[in-house]
Amino acid sequence: MLKRTLIAGLGLVLCASAQASVTYQDTVGDLFDNGLGNLDITSVDVSHDEGNVYMSINLNADIASANWGKYLIAINAFDDGTGSNPWGRNIDFGGEGIDRFIGSWADGGGGALGYHHFTDWYEQSGVSVDFSDASSGAIHYTISRDWLGAPYDSFKFDVMTSAGGSFDPGVDHLSRSDQATGGWGETSYSGDFLVYDLPAPGALVLLGLAGIMRSRRRH
């Protein structure tokens, strides 16, 4: 019995740096033009391990067939930042200071760029994207925790869809359950940013070790 308990406890330690995915739901059909299913967010899944944050944007269409669309992630990881974005999109973030930004596109097989904000926006590697599930409407991102910056235990974010024009708004915002903009020529507005918690992997490992020690004392 003790051996089984120790093995279970060790399994907890080995898995402690990972967290089960958190799903953030969005309203379907909340666009100014609901024919734009490739820009209609249905949900976003977020998880992490010791080295990376994993984010999947789920959309209401086969985006491989649509072969166009821009998918944006605005992140507030620290206490400062800016209300602008490096792609010049017509978006009001509601007072959030954005210091990390991911811009991605489905066109031509897809791609993504990551940006840091210091005194201005600077392109910086640390983000990769996977469009292999595009026919199911899913885009998968791997975001380096080093790129996000440390130390931190959570970050705030919004996910938006847009189009190719440099002054286009966010067509759909994960942070809102209602329409974010009235049309292409109008500003879009974020709601309250979502929060994702990043417990320190070391703290989770210690929790697993504490479970092992308690099991030892009981036997």
pTM, full prediction: 0.84
Q: Is the pLDDT score of 9 beyond 90? A: no
- Second-level CATH architecture of 22-199: Sandwich (2.60)
pLDDT tops 70 at residue 211 = no
Question: Across the chain, what does the average pLDDT equal?
Answer: 86
Q: How confident is the model at residue 200 (pLDDT cuts 50, 70, 90)?
A: low
In a 13 Å sphere around the CA of 169, the CA atoms on its Cβ side amount to: 20
Asked if residue 97 has pLDDT above 50, the reply is: yes
Task: Specify the range with the lowest mean pLDDT, choosing from 2-6, 171-175, 214-218.
Answer: 2-6
Sequence-separated (6 or more) residues with CB below 8 Å from residue 203: none
Report DSSP state, residue 98: B
The residue ranking higher by pLDDT, 171 or 199, is 171
Q: Evaluate whether 74 touches 158 at the Cβ level (below 8 Å).
A: yes
Residue-wise pLDDT for 126-184, tens only, equals: 999 999 999 999 999 999 999 998 677 899 999 999 998 889 999 999 999 999 999 99
Helix/strand number for the chain, H first, E second? 4, 14
Least confident span in 50-64, 85-99, 187-201: 187-201
Q: Which residue has the tokens 């600077």?
A: 122
Domain-wise residue ranges, the chain: 22-199
Task: Report DSSP letters for 27-46, one per residue.
Answer: -TT-SSSTT-GGG-EEEEEE
Distance CA 186, CA 91 (A): 9
